[in-house]
Structures are given as structure tokens and as C-alpha cells.
Amino acid sequence: MARHVIVGGGTAGWNAITTLRELDKGDSEIILVADETPYSRMVLPYYLARDIAESHVYIASPPKLAALNVDARLGARAERIDASANKLILEGGDEVEYDNLLIATGSSPVKAPVPGADGKNVHSFWTFPQARAVASGVGDGARVAMIGAGFIAFTILNALVNQGVKLTVVELESRILPRMIDDTGAGLVQSWLNERGVEVRTSTQVTSIEDKGESKLLKFKEGPDLEVDLVIMATGIKPNIDWVTDSGLETNQGILVDEHCRTNVANIYAAGDIAEGPDAVTGDRVVHAIEPTAMQHGRVAAANMAGQEVAYKGSLLMNIVDVLDMEIASFGAWDDADAEVFEAVRAERPAYRKLLFHGGRLTGAIILGKTREIWTTNDVGMLKGLVYTGVDISEWKEHLRKNPFDVKRAFLASGAAGGLLPETVLGRPSASSNELTIAS
Amino acid sequence: MKILKIIPEKCTGCMRCELACSYEQTGTFQPSKAVIRVSAFEGHTSYAPYTCPQCDEAWCLTACPVEAIGISPAGAKDVADDICVGCKLCTIACPYGTMFYDIDTHKAFKCDLCGGNPACASVCPTDAIVYEEADKTDWVGPFAAERAKSPAGPLAGVL
């Protein structure tokens, strides 16, 4: 019986487990090595908002792992790989032999190198313990500084502001959400935030974080000091690849994988934030540290580990975030200087749409507007469908140039749906993991 | 399985399906909360209803980080409201544009085939929407492509 060893119990690891069981019905040995009890990072903002209980955060719980006949080594940490002997070596010296190894050890937050960044009441928001620490420190009237204005910061902005937090967002770059939207979009979001009492300081570098009584005092390269009760550092993440560097695996930013999520070693796979795999639009290999990519990588890797030759077309960069009832989403290559760009701004709504073309193919898109207006349309998913399929919509270009807000008929007439319907990532209909159990 | 088969040539644009759908799904007669949507072509002389094709890939189901989306006895991908946290990942995962978000409940919602008795098909007066055994296919695409080729351009008379 084949032995699959999976390192990391996040989205990629869990999807690999459920896919293996869906395909092999229990006819393999699965060992999960994870230093934490698995949980879903994606829902931590809703925990912070006090919308959901702690129990809601655990997806791959020990009983569910047991029901899938997974040998879960929780609390164990992988130390290194001996690829020539097909062995994973754990901290403490235990060895685990494998037929197939999946590396899904994710990424970690990087704190900006600022004096005081490791002090008390300065937190990252990435792990469940960090989310608990932030949750216990915020409430009505709390003054909070968010250093870094990227996607992760914005996923918790609503939870903070809706609890009465007095929030200041500090960003080193010249705009907020620098890797999710362009200058025009960022400008609209910044105005929206200012009108709702959130202070935003862009092009601002923090030089130190000091204690001032029970408060924290932030000093900047330019501009006035800022006194707050709590600091959240959301200054980026990096793949957790340090432990594999001597294993013979090819790495760049992450571990390089092909369209099967396979590394340069035939029986070692990588998935999720740690994997640098093909991009659906450009074909280049990139790290997409986003939930949908982790899910898809986990499924594709597992299918190949189960002996099926499943290749996938690559992951699509995409994000969506709600900022105080303004919806912001972007897809694909939205920041491409070589693309033909159609855009329209209705600052008074506010609403913004940007469509990026190469020939007749939509290669990237930004959609921004009031939440209530965005969800009266189907546009979010239709933009995804057009970018993901790359279907030819040459006939619609003139219309979309004049009105980038009207994509629905172009989508319907494009035949994108007809092209997508026969397509499945694993070559079979997806199943719900809720119904999966394995007789042990 | 039984699916919603759409014959756009028979659609009169009466919007009964949208009203019935929104009422069944959210308790209000409000097309903006319908998960079947009727689009106009050729200067509002042709119409085509469009809804979730219940695709085999189940992009929404696989994307959900809390496993709130399952497959109902009717074969529909269905959101469990008590599990959905409203993160909207399903809305960007679905490439069909048939995953919606309810701004009042803060939950995702979609066509669940009304538990096996779809309201849109029940109320359609011309059998443009029928619920029967059929292939999952793009019922609207060829019709929309043809109607968009009118001499004056894709949207002549519509906008």
C-alpha cells in the first residue's frame, strides 16, 4: 500500500487529503505532519469580528482526520528531507519513510525591520494564536495602527472598524493595496476610508515603535508621531522554504513545481503558498499565496500522488475584499503595462472598472464599487470566467471600450460557459468532502 | 440528473422567473436577489434567462474554505447558511457568474434547484425554462452570440 506523507495541514494539505481519499477510498496510508491542529486561516477575520466561534475555525479537526484514516502527527515539525532515501526527518530525530511526499508548509508573516517590532502589543495577523492576541486587544475606542496596507490587512479592516476601533493605516508604498489594485482604484478606496474615519498614511516609513506607558508610540521618517494601543504588522509574507534548502529541490521564491505540482524530484510534490507553479494567464511560474491556489494545488498534487496523470492549466491570481461596504476584486494580469486598457471611473458612486486586453483576450480586470451595487450584477464571476478561459471576445471590444461596466452580454455570447462545462480539474465531477468517510 | 434546461427562443422577457426565484430564495419579490437572470438582446426584442449550470467541477464547492457548500439530494450545489461566513471566495472561484452574495444576510447564495422543484420552471408561461433530464450544456451562448450579431452592433437599441 502506498504511503503518502503530507507536511502541513493548511488548505493545500487538507485538500490533498480529501482528494486522495476521494480517489483511493482508503487504499493508501496517509501520514500528516503538522505543527498545529489544522484550521482555516481564511476565516480568522470572521473570528476577529466575533461573527463565529473558535470551533468554526477548525476544518480538518482530529475526528475528521481520523474518519479519513489519516495518521495525524500533530505538534510534529519536519526538519529536513533525505530525498535519496525517501525519508522525512522530524525535529527530535524521528524518521518517516514515504513513497510520495507533499510539502505544504505554507508561508509566514514578515515583520518590517523596525526597532520595537518584536515588542509587546505588536502583532502579526496570520496564525490562530496571533488572531486571538489581536482579538483580545481590540474593542470599542481602541486605537490601532495597521502597518502595511495589503490584502491581509484589508481582510481584517472591517472587523476592527465595526468594533469601534480608531484605525490608522500606514503604507510604505505610494498607494494602499499595492498588489491588488492600481492607483485609480486605490485612490477611491482611500477616500472611502477617510470619509469613514479611517486615517490612511501612504509613502510613510515607520522608523521605530516605542513604549509610552501602556501605549505604543510610532515614529516615522516624516510626519507626526502616532500613539496607539495596539500595532498590527501586515508587512508581507514569505514561503516557509528554509527547511528544504539542502534537500536537492529546486527553489526560487518558493519550491518550483510543474503543472502536476511535482518538484524536480519525481515523488516529491509542493502545494500552496510554498509552491511556485504555473500562472494560468502568463504561463510563468509564480507564488500565488492565495486560498484558491492552495486548494487547487492540493487537489492536483494529490491526484498525481494517487497515480493519475493530472495536469492543470495554472492558477489565476485573484482577490476579493469588502472594505466598509465597498467591494474590490481583481483578476489575472491587472497590472500589465503592455496590455490594451479600457477603464471607466464614476467617482461619485464610487465605481471603477478596468479591463486589460491582449488582442481579443481579456487578461486582467479590476472591479470596484459599493457592495450593494456589485451584487446586483453577475460581473464578478463573469470577469473571472473571461480571464480564466481567455476566450476570444474580439467582437465585443469596441462595446467594452465604450462601456467597461457592461460585461454580461459579452460573457454570455462568448461561449465561455460552453467551453468550461466539460472541464474538470481532476477529470471527474468534484465531490463534497463532507460526505467522505473511510472504513478503517 | 434533472437540470434547468433553457430554450431562450421561447423566452418573452416577462421576468416571472426572476420574481419567483427571488421570492423562493430570499422571501422578497426582487429581481436583484434572483439567482436566475434574464438578459436582453436586439433592442429588447430577444431575451435569455441564465443561471447556474450545476457544473461538474463545482468551483464554488471546492473553493469554500469552511466546506459550507455541499451537493443536495437534487444534485444542486447548495450553501449551508449556518456554516458560510460570507468570505466570497466562491464568488471569485465560480467562472460562470452564478454565485451571489446577499448583502442583508452576509452569506453567499446560488441556485439550489429549489430542492428539486424549481420555482423559475414552475412559473415560466412559455416553457422557456424546463426542469428535466438533460445534458449540462451552454443553453444561452449560441443564442446570445447570434443575437449579438445584429447589423447595428452587439447592443443595438439596448443601451
How far does the CA of residue A223 sit from the closest CA of chain B (Å)? 36
The answer to whether A68 touches A13, Cβ cutoff 8 Å, is: no
pLDDT of residue B129: 98
Is B89 close to A428, i.e. CB distance below 8 A?
no
Mean pLDDT check: name the lowest of A6-15, A427-436, B58-67.
Answer: A427-436
pTM of this structure: 0.96
pLDDT of residue A182: 97
Percent of chain B with pLDDT over 90: 87
Contacts of B56 in chain A (CB under 8 A): 421, 424, 428-430
Contacts of A12 in chain B (CB under 8 A): none
> pLDDT tens across B2-61, in order?
999 999 999 999 999 999 999 999 999 999 999 999 999 888 889 999 999 999 999 999
pLDDT greater than 80 at residue A437: no
User: Quick one: pLDDT band at residue A432, thresholds 50, 70, 90?
Assistant: confident
* Higher-pLDDT residue of A427, A169: A169
Residue in chain A closest to B52 (alpha carbons) equals A417
So what's the ipTM on this one?
Answer: 0.96
pLDDT of residue B44: 84
pLDDT greater than 90 at residue A178: yes
Domain ranges of chain A: 3-108+238-315, 122-235, 325-417
**In CATH terms, are A3-108+238-315 and A325-417 the same topology?**
no
To the nearest 10 degrees (0 to 180), the angle between helices A291-305 and A11-24 is 40
pLDDT greater than 60 at residue A440: no
User: Which CATH entry fits the domain spanning A122-235: 3.50.50.60, 3.60.20.10, 3.40.50.970, 3.40.190.10?
Assistant: 3.50.50.60
Sheet of A100-103, strands arranged across: A70-74, A29-34, A3-7, A100-103, A268-270
Give the H/E segment covering residue B25: helix B16-26
User: Quick one: pLDDT band at residue A217, thresholds 50, 70, 90?
Assistant: very high
Domain ranges of chain B: 2-147
Give me the CATH topology for the region B2-147: Alpha-Beta Plaits (3.30.70)
Mean pLDDT over all residues of chain B?
93
pLDDT greater than 70 at residue A128: yes
Contacts of B141 in chain A (CB under 8 A): 412-418
Report the residue of B25, B46, B54, B56 to disrupt the A interface, i.e. the one with the largest count of A CBs within 10 Å: B56
Give the H/E segment covering residue A45: helix A44-48
Candidate from B92, B102, B148 with C-beta closest to A329: B92
User: Which CATH entry fits the domain spanning A325-417: 3.60.15.10, 3.40.50.300, 3.90.1150.10, 3.30.390.30?
Assistant: 3.30.390.30
Percent of chain A with pLDDT over 90: 95
Is B56 close to A318, i.e. CB distance below 8 A?
no
User: Quick one: pLDDT band at residue B155, thresholds 50, 70, 90?
Assistant: low
> pLDDT tens across A20-73, in order?
999 999 999 999 999 999 999 999 999 999 999 999 999 889 999 999 999 999
Mean pLDDT over all residues of chain A?
95
Is B57 close to A410, i.e. CB distance below 8 A?
no
* Mean pLDDT of all residues in A324-345: 97
Please provide residue A119's backbone torsions phi and psi, each rounded to the nearest 5 degrees: -75, 175
Closest CA to B99 of B120, B76, B118, B116: B76
Residue in chain B closest to A59 (alpha carbons) equals B66
Contacts of A315 in chain B (CB under 8 A): none
Residue in chain B closest to A58 (alpha carbons) equals B66
pLDDT of residue B127: 98
Report the residue of A52, A325, A375 to disrupt the B interface, i.e. the one with the largest count of B CBs within 10 Å: A375
* Higher-pLDDT residue of B153, B135: B135
Is A418 close to B97, i.e. CB distance below 8 A?
no
SS3 of residue A155 by DSSP = helix
Is B56 close to A430, i.e. CB distance below 8 A?
yes
Give me the CATH topology for the region A3-108+238-315: FAD/NAD(P)-binding domain (3.50.50)
> pLDDT tens across A81-103, in order?
999 999 999 999 999 999 999 99
